[in-house]
Amino acid sequence: MKTNQDVLSILDFSSKDIRELLAIAKVLKHMEMWGQSPKPLLDKTGILIFKKPSLRTRASFAIGLMQLGANAITFHDFEIQIGKRETPEDAAQVLSRYGDVIIMRTYSQKEIEDIAKSATVPVINALTDLLHPCQVLSDAFTILEAKGKLEGIKVAYLGDGNNVAHSLLNLSSRVPIDLRIAYPVGYAPIDGIVEFAKKAGVSKITLTNDPIEAVNDADVIYTDVWASMGKKEELAERKLQMQPFQINSSLVKYAAPDYVFMHCLPAERSNEVTSDIIDSKHSIVFDQAENRLHMQKAILCYIFQANIEVE
């Protein structure tokens, strides 16, 4: 029987849970800065499964586990071949006998949900084509650091209605923000995810095909690559559709004077964002990347109910 919760979506957390995660991440970051990293996960083992390439996600989870005193072992897709050589259900049951948490980065949300149903240890979604919950939780932590608050912050996300956009919508059903998502016709976020966020009634949510409407007076401007992994063959067509949504010096003039720029990386400079923006004083993309480490550690501490004292 599973005793610790899965993290398949931000919706697995309540508003209170998210506030606690943010507080834990803050404490862990400060402790790490002072060389006082606690080791609450001694003798635990995290099993990482990567069916997609990864830099920040793999590094942050593997290093985070080790900093918390746990071991980390990584499998690539060719080694397990889930869905071909092993069924998700069989792989989940075997890995549950070996490790204490399964962290998976894959294409299909259904696949990770199938893993979670059969696993007897917690399963963490490290990215699917549908959702990117750990990324957006660490983004919330980064915005909180940069702006001193989350409530009421105007967040403009421009580009494809992808897994980041979906997780921002999920966040908006838990944390009161002013979320604007701007996208070309045909690239909208999934209707069901949008409707759930709107019905929650927590945040102001605007969907638009006008990038200026989204960016107007925004505190945060956020974008992602125009063609995610598995969709690179569509890049030429997407470039034609997405060009008006590029984050550049002309567009950011409409934002708040002290706006911050965010990107989950890797960036394709000169496509979704120009180098003068990503390298500007407004950019916090590397703070955002660093905070993946602190939030992954916070998530791990939370699901294992580690005793981390917060203010």
Which residue in 56, 58, 132, 294 is the catalytic one? 132
Residue 263 annotated in active site: no
Instruction: Give me the catalytic one of 6, 58, 135, 160.
Output: 135
> Active site includes 139?
no
Determine whether 292 is an active site residue.
yes
Concerning whether 224 is annotated as a catalytic residue, the answer is: yes
For residue 268, how many other CB atoms are within 10 A of its CB? 14
132 is catalytic: yes
Contact 132, 138 (CB under 8 A): no
Q: Spot the catalytic one: 292, 294, 296, 301.
A: 292
From the list 114, 139, 224, 294, the catalytic residue is: 224
Q: Which residue of the set 58, 105, 180, 294 is catalytic?
A: 105
Active-site position among 263, 264, 288, 294: 264
Q: Is 105 a catalytic residue?
A: yes
Catalytic residues: 105, 132, 135, 224, 264, 292
